[in-house]
Structure 1
């Protein structure tokens, strides 16, 4: 019963923060709401006893990605953001709603298809669960199916993006001074 109550609280926090994130006009408030969404998803992982995924969610997404978004927001000049305005356009809103409905129908269709297939398969095969030891070895190995090299490549790529953003910012500041 306690897990159900915690799940309900996390679900309300996630949904409210997600709606606030996409509906606010202030970009820093949207980034903060995104942070709450990511923390809520980490809470769901902890609730399901997936401690590795919960800590990865907090450290990678809630920590790193949100900080990167905030740095990107701060790098953009205020002049660039001043010209932006949000308007509701009828045709675009209807098109977005239609695309969202098609996406929801696709997700529901795939969910129903996979649920039926998993019931058929589960009667014939034993339930095999991947242990955390196997996941950890695969994440930290440099073998054929290891993920160390992609993680290193992504970290170097993100560092190059940050340096490129700083160079662009420095060029714009020098142009504004002249």
Structure 2
């Protein structure tokens, strides 16, 4: 179970880091290109979360949080990809809704993991960064593609790094749990 969660976090973090890097390196992106780029990211994140929820055993609350975040990511990702001619205002609403919704699901999942992980604060922080990014995009939809790209790009980099750090810490605890114990053998006298 821990290993599966670790890989879910790794895939999500790399998707976020790739999206964030592209968004920040390509600031003059058009609204149509931003819609496609964001749609691919939201779709990848949603598919990863939904796959994790369907394959995971155990806590129903955590699975529900991943299912909610996964379905939201898939719906928003497909909508953004299928609607590349979207206006900047509509795209701001779509990105803001996804960021707030997925951030809330991340916070919910982190709260459910309090008993299993000792570093869930990283997942809380990633969820919080998502909610803040969504609110910023909603607050200034008139900032256009450049403003949205910068906000969502910085958010994706922060969330990607926090999620990757959580995966790394989880890897350390998983390796310690699965490390075989070597018993000392008595020396012949």
What is the TM-score of this pair, normalised by structure 2? Answer: 0.31
